[in-house]
Amino acid sequence: MDHHRANEHFIVSLRQLFNFAESTNICRHVSICRYFGEEIDAEDAEVTGINELGIKVCKYPEKTKRRISKLSAQVALEVEPCGDDGPRRQAIPDSSSGWRTNENGRVIHDPPGPGQRAFSGTSGFRSYGTTKRAVPESDKAPAKAKKPKVSYAPALVTKPFASTSRLSRPFKTPFKTPFKNPAPPEPSQGPFPVPEVHSISSGEEVEFVEQDDIQTNDISSQLVEAPSSTAVPDIAMELEVAFSSKIPANARLHGFNNIRRALYGVFMFGSEKTWDALGSSDLSIDTREQVISAAAKELEFSVLSMCSTKDGYTERVDDTADMVNKEVRRLLTGEYPTSVDEEDVQNVIDVMKRLSKCHLRRAGKQRAAV
Can you name the residues that pair with 94 across neighbouring β-strands?
Answer: 100
Which is more confidently placed, 5 or 354? 354
Going 208 to 213 to 219 to 222, the CA torsion angle's sign is negative
Instruction: List residues bridging with 101 in a β-sheet.
Output: 107
Per-residue pLDDT at 137: 55
pLDDT grade for 9, boundaries at 50, 70 and 90: confident
pLDDT at residue 32, as a whole number: 76
Distances (CA, A) of 54 to 36, 47, 344: 22, 12, 84
Cα angle 220, 223, 228; round to 5: 115
| Contact partners, residue 101, CB within 8 Å, separation at least 6 | 92, 95, 107, 108
**Which helix (H) or strand (E) covers residue 295, if one does?**
helix 285-305
Looking at the chain, the whole-number percentage of residues with pLDDT higher than 90 is: 10
Does the pTM exceed 0.85? no
Beta bridge partners, 136, equal 125
The identity of residue 280, as a single letter, is: S
329-347 pLDDT, tens digit per residue, is 787 777 655 555 678 888 8
Show Cβ contacts of residue 314 under 8 Å, excluding neighbours closer than 6 positions: 251, 255
- Residue closest to 69 by CA, chosen among 114, 112, 101: 114
User: In this structure, are residues 276 and 282 in contact, taking their beta carbons and an 8 Å threshold?
Assistant: no
- pLDDT level of residue 142 (50, 70, 90 thresholds): low
Q: Which of 63-72, 160-169, 181-190 has the highest mean pLDDT?
A: 63-72
Enclosing H/E stretch for 125: strand 125-126
Q: Give me the pLDDT at residue 258, please.
A: 92
Q: Comparing C-alpha atoms, which of 302, 194, 183, 190 is closest to residue 241?
A: 302
- Per residue in 194-205, pLDDT tens? 445 444 444 555
pLDDT bucket at 253, cuts 50 / 70 / 90: very high
Going by C-alpha positions, the residue among 100, 233, 243, 132 that lies closest to residue 178 is 243
CB 357 within 8 A of CB 346: no
Please indicate whether residue 294 or residue 195 has the higher confidence score (pLDDT): 294
Query: Residue 165 — pLDDT band, cuts 50, 70, 90?
Result: low
